[in-house]
Amino acid sequence: MVPDTPSETTDSTDSHTGEEHTAVDTARRQLEHAVAHLDVNPNIVERLKHPTAVHEVTVPIRRDDGSLEVFTGYRAHHDSIRGPYKGGLRYHPGVTREECVGLGMWMTWKCAVMDLPFGGAKGGIVVDPKGLSDRELEQLTRRFTHEIRHVIGPNKDIPAPDMGTDAQVMSWIMDAYSIQEAETLPGVVTGKPPVIGGSFGREEAPGHSVAIITREACEYYGKSIEDATVAVQGFGSVGANAARKLDDWGATVVAVSDVNGAAYYPDGLDPHEIPSHDEEPEAVTRYDDDPISNEELLTLDVDVLVPAAIGDVITEDNADEIQADIVVEGANGPTTFAADSILAERGVQVIPDIVANAGGVTVSYFEWLQDINRRAWSLEEVQSELEAEMKTAWDEVRTEFEDRDVTWRDAAYIVALSRLTEAHTYRGLWP
């Protein structure tokens, strides 16, 4: 991902109350909301509101002009009761300690709802990587890896790409860590190129899981995917892969967007014809002579809306205008806490990010398995295992949704929290 998605990294403001809330506030509020439906030990919930540790380091590099510049980096560990910490590393000027903690909490829930043997973490460096040369970026990455090497590792904490980082950055981390450990350890990071232990199908996985969940949700509400109309905000890794897979399955994709606006064709467009953000940045608005705005895309009268660009796009200001029957969250945190309640009251079904885009971390888990077993899987194996894992998670969340008469988000949190609290109960508090 390129770092052009700032609103996920800045604290958002409730337009009515003027109250500022950070990612960690939202994550805690969502936790409390779901806990109200469960009979769980409040001491465990209290523990889950806090990270285990937040590692803050300084990262000096020599700039190309010979000067020295010092950057700040973080690695927030939220919970590891069910396995090593897992989560992305982002390079973005808006990275903060609080953001890393909040996003790390979401990773804990995401891994738990998918029943992956991982906990949650997030980290990053406060930097605009576009302002660095390739040499500077490599030096920054290697030095950062050195500074956090005692807290990461294939059995401790496994970073992955996020905003502003990619397969090349993961390769440098793997190399720096392996050199320091004096052995090649591909399992220290995921999202690597396949030639050094990456997995086939990793890049497409979050978009494909969004498509699988969209298909399951449509079927649940009595609509076959061939009859569904879909609008997708964001045409990057998640949005483009979701739109193309849904088109392959016969859905009518009527709108897709990039940061500049949206292409809208009421009778459907071909998402395979439009270059994705990675293939040709911001090509969507060049494809359509008369684009609509991103705000208009969100309120189109479609069966399914997939916000797959940035966080906090469905807010209490536009929640009343959302016309889609189902919202499938492709991005992390696209719906604010206040908007969530409005949509629930209006009967708009919101399938949460921690399930919908969890294909990314699920295939990261497959990559880690391939690395520690030193055996590569074919693309077909990856795709069929992903389909199976997503359907299992969907069925488990659907059971809670039906049995408890809660929202899809609460149902997903209930599945995740049940696993986490049971694990905490068995392991107990030490000393």
Shortest spacing between CB 329 and ligand NAD, in angstroms: 9
Query: Does residue 84 touch ligand NAD according to CB under 6 A?
Result: no
DSSP assignments along 90-121, one per residue? EEETT--HHHHHHHHHHHHHHHHHTT-S--EE
Let me know how many helices (H) and strands (E) the chain has, helices first: 14, 13
Query: Does residue 94 touch ligand NAD according to CB under 6 A?
Result: no
Q: Which of 94, 123, 197, 234 binds ligand NAD (CB under 6 A)?
A: 234
Query: Does residue 11 touch ligand NAD according to CB under 6 A?
Result: no
Q: Which of 151, 259, 292, 376 binds ligand NAD (CB under 6 A)?
A: 259
Shortest spacing between CB 309 and ligand NAD, in angstroms: 3
Nearest residue to ligand NAD by CB is 236
Site size toward ligand NAD, by CB under 6 A: 29
Query: Does residue 245 touch ligand NAD according to CB under 6 A?
Result: no
Query: Does residue 8 touch ligand NAD according to CB under 6 A?
Result: yes
| Strand 229-233 relative to strand 120-126, pairing | unpaired
Query: Does residue 308 touch ligand NAD according to CB under 6 A?
Result: yes
Shortest spacing between CB 64 and ligand NAD, in angstroms: 26
Shortest spacing between CB 188 and ligand NAD, in angstroms: 18
Query: Does residue 258 touch ligand NAD according to CB under 6 A?
Result: yes
Query: Does residue 253 touch ligand NAD according to CB under 6 A?
Result: no
Question: Which member of 86, 110, 122, 245 is catalytic?
Answer: 122
- Binding range to ligand NAD, per CB under 6 A, among 44-52, 121-129, 330-338, 410-418: 330-338
Our answer to whether residue 49 is catalytic in this structure is no
Shortest spacing between CB 228 and ligand NAD, in angstroms: 21
Shortest spacing between CB 4 and ligand NAD, in angstroms: 5
Provide the 8-state DSSP code for 376: P
Cβ atoms within 10 Å, residue 88: 26
Provide the 8-state DSSP code for 292: B
Residues listed for the chain: 431
Shortest spacing between CB 169 and ligand NAD, in angstroms: 13
Cβ distance to ligand NAD smaller for residue 139 or 214: 214
Provide the 8-state DSSP code for 304: E
Instruction: Considering only residues 199 through 228, tell me which ones interact with ligand NAD, judged by CB under 6 A.
Output: 206
Closest CA to 413 of 160, 105, 162, 122: 105
- Binding range to ligand NAD, per CB under 6 A, among 4-12, 147-155, 247-255, 385-393: 4-12
d(CA 234, CA 298) in angstroms, rounded, equals 11
Query: Does residue 114 touch ligand NAD according to CB under 6 A?
Result: no
Residue/partner pairs of 101-104 with CB below 8 Å, 24 or more apart: 101/23, 101/24, 101/51, 101/54, 101/76, 102/22, 102/23, 102/24, 102/25, 102/26, 102/27, 103/23, 103/27, 103/76, 103/332, 104/51, 104/76, 104/77, 104/78
Residue/partner pairs of 273-282 with CB below 8 Å, 24 or more apart: 274/235, 274/240, 276/235, 276/236, 276/237, 276/239, 276/240, 276/241, 277/2, 277/234, 277/235, 277/236, 277/237, 277/239, 277/240, 278/236, 278/237, 278/240, 281/2, 282/258
Q: Do 77 and 85 contact (CB within 8 A), yes or no?
A: yes
Query: Does residue 73 touch ligand NAD according to CB under 6 A?
Result: no
Q: Which of 187, 239, 291, 352 binds ligand NAD (CB under 6 A)?
A: 239
d(CA 141, CA 136) in angstroms, rounded, equals 9
Shortest spacing between CB 429 and ligand NAD, in angstroms: 32
| Burial annotation 173-202 (CB, 10 A radius, 16+ → b, else e) | bbbbbbeeeeeebbbbbbbbeeeebbbbbb
Interaction pattern, residues 332-361, with ligand NAD; x per rule: CB under 6 A: x------------------------x--x-
Q: Do 106 and 354 contact (CB within 8 A), yes or no?
A: yes
Q: Do 185 and 153 contact (CB within 8 A), yes or no?
A: yes
Shortest spacing between CB 399 and ligand NAD, in angstroms: 24
Residue keyed to tokens 């991005």: 331
- Binding range to ligand NAD, per CB under 6 A, among 49-57, 92-100, 309-317, 344-352: 309-317
Q: Which of 94, 104, 330, 352 binds ligand NAD (CB under 6 A)?
A: 330
Q: Which of 14, 98, 282, 316 binds ligand NAD (CB under 6 A)?
A: 282
Residues that bind ligand NAD (CB under 6 A): 1-2, 4-5, 8, 206, 233-239, 257-259, 277-278, 282, 294, 308-311, 330-332, 357, 360
Q: Catalytic site residues?
A: 122
